[in-house]
Amino acid sequence: MGKNLAISIGINKYDFLSPLKYAKRDAELMQEFLRDRAGFDRVFFFSDDSPDIGGKSTRPSFVILNRVLRTMFEKPFMGDGDNFWFFFSGHGIPHNGYDYLMPCDGDPGDVENTAISINLVTERLRRCGADNVILILDACRGQGSKSGEGIGNQSAELARQKGVITFFSCSPNELSYEIDALQQGAFTNALLDGLGVQGKCATVERLEHYLSSRVPELIRQHKSEKVRQTPYVIAEPVTKSHLIIYPQYATLQDVAQMKVDAFGEEVNKNFDLAKQLWIRVLVAYPGDMDAIDGIQRIAVERSGNEASSQKNSVGASVANKSESLFSPKSIPVANTPSEADVPLKSKRGVDYTKLRDLLASGKWKEADEETTEKMLEVGTSRHLFDHLRNSDVNRFPVEDLGTIDLLWVKYSNGHFGFSAQKNIYQSLGGTRKSDQKIWEEFGDRVGWRVNGRWLSASEIKLAPNAQIGNLPGLLTKWLYRSEGIETEDQEESVSINNSGAVAALLLSRRDL
């Protein structure tokens, strides 16, 4: 488990296209990072003067690159938990509705016969057998189609269909710039910083956020305020955006989010993706019992056998519906867990011991009420009102939000928590802008709304098949405030009219 291989290609010298300055250096630096810092087993390097491999040339010509893709990926040689990265820095051209990478001898007048189709690259990479394939393309360098459109449209659709996580250096109608002061492309410079100590981006989502802000910043600094370069990422389904791609910087919160996703895919019987996510948890935290139990459940489910021996494991009701998922005896944790399990961090000095103990005992109603109290204690500096305002949610400390969420995730085995709710909310298209239709769909999904009617907090009953994201129910209590309470600063209070807006702010927090 955990085999890591990559191909890194960088081309400065072209036979029929304008030369580039730093594509070769981009590929060299990517090779060095993956090999020396990320600990990849091997990185195959192709550039203008790269050394031979086994007596065979590595000049990135059409024949050589095509042969590598054809022969190297003929049969699977990797497996679950393995990673294969493909990095290309050079020219790319769209042609007749398809995207192509240009080898050093690629002819823009005969693209179909001299260029490498991204269709081919994706199809061959998927054959390697690794469950995690990442494609990184810095290939819009100013000599695209006559219309000015670069690669990306067709490649993005292909990435969605094939499930390949793909990073694009810029949007299809933009260029990917080289920066003389950096002696690098802006995108690759930001990419390596994001994966390194500066960004510490362990997940696809965090790296995407870093690139989306850092690349435009570099362009403004070194090019012009009018120039645009907007990198973007295709990672579908949405759970793939939470994949840990660089375990060295993975946090407990990153792992908790993957556990939530994995369990959710299990419930929805997407067993291939669920298994991939559980394996990713094991890669980040070898020996994690939640992940081991999850993989065992999937094996039992697929075999069609009863999993009676699993009913004390995480999410045992997936295999045995007669056992309540939420009964205390079904939770495989100690009765009095140590703080080392989930660090009880608080920027405001709030004590989360009681919340932890209630959750560990399976006292969900009491834990929900305690969550409300603690969030008010953290979020409102004055105990003058019993609700959170928009500004309170925006300023709510990451440390406290993470502690509350991780406690719910841990003791519900990934079934409850704000991160579980966020995953559902964003999958429905939810953003920071309140949307009544999405809010109602969210209520339907988490069990707060039945037959078009919102339930009161007292009507929500826990059951063996309680929906993912059903708790914490703090947002439900906000929803049923019928009157606002004026505050000294006259800020609008949370009411039935704006509770959705506050919920949107919370559920779109990136740090969840």
The 3-state secondary structure of 253-272 reads HHHHHHHHHHHHHHHCCCHH
User: Which residues have a Cβ under 8 Å from the Cβ of 198 and sit 6 or more positions away?
Assistant: none
If you search the block for the tokens 């019993």, which residue do you land on?
Answer: 386
Tokens of 117: 């189709």
DSSP-based three-state secondary structure for 74: coil
Torsion 442-446-452-453 (CA) sign: negative
Nearest CA-CA partner of 153 in 204, 111, 98: 98
User: How far apart (Å, rounded) are the C-alpha atoms in residues 84 and 130?
Assistant: 6
Q: Are 219 and 227 in contact (CB under 8 A)?
A: yes
SS (H, E, C) 308-345: HHHCCCCCHHHCCCCCCCCCHHHCCCCCCCCCCCCCCC
Q: Are 327 and 303 in contact (CB under 8 A)?
A: no
Q: Give domain limits for the chain.
A: 4-247, 261-323, 333-512
Q: What is the pTM of this model?
A: 0.67
pLDDT reported for residue 512: 67
pLDDT reported for residue 253: 73
pLDDT in tens, the chain (512 residues): 479 999 999 999 999 999 999 999 999 999 999 999 999 999 999 999 999 988 999 999 999 999 999 999 999 999 988 999 999 999 999 999 899 999 999 999 999 999 999 999 999 999 999 989 999 999 986 544 444 456 778 888 888 888 899 999 998 889 999 999 999 999 999 999 999 989 999 999 999 999 999 999 999 999 988 899 999 999 987 788 889 999 888 887 788 788 878 877 877 788 988 898 989 888 888 888 878 888 988 998 888 744 344 444 433 333 332 223 233 323 233 233 333 367 888 888 999 999 999 999 988 888 988 998 888 888 765 444 566 777 777 778 878 888 898 888 888 877 788 888 887 887 788 887 778 888 888 888 888 888 888 877 667 666 445 778 888 886 555 544 433 333 333 333 333 345 666 677 777 776 66
pLDDT reported for residue 220: 95
User: How far apart (Å, rounded) are the C-alpha atoms in residues 7 and 166?
Assistant: 14
Angle (CA) 275-277-279 rounded to 5° is: 70
User: How far apart (Å, rounded) are the C-alpha atoms in residues 361 and 300?
Assistant: 28
DSSP-based three-state secondary structure for 400: helix
Tokens of 283: 């890669």
What CATH number should be reported for the domain whose range is 4-247?
Answer: 3.40.50.1460
pLDDT reported for residue 142: 59
135 phi and psi angles, rounded to 5 deg: -110, 125
Tokens of 130: 């690794």
User: How far apart (Å, rounded) are the C-alpha atoms in residues 179 and 190?
Assistant: 12
User: How far apart (Å, rounded) are the C-alpha atoms in residues 45 and 31?
Assistant: 7
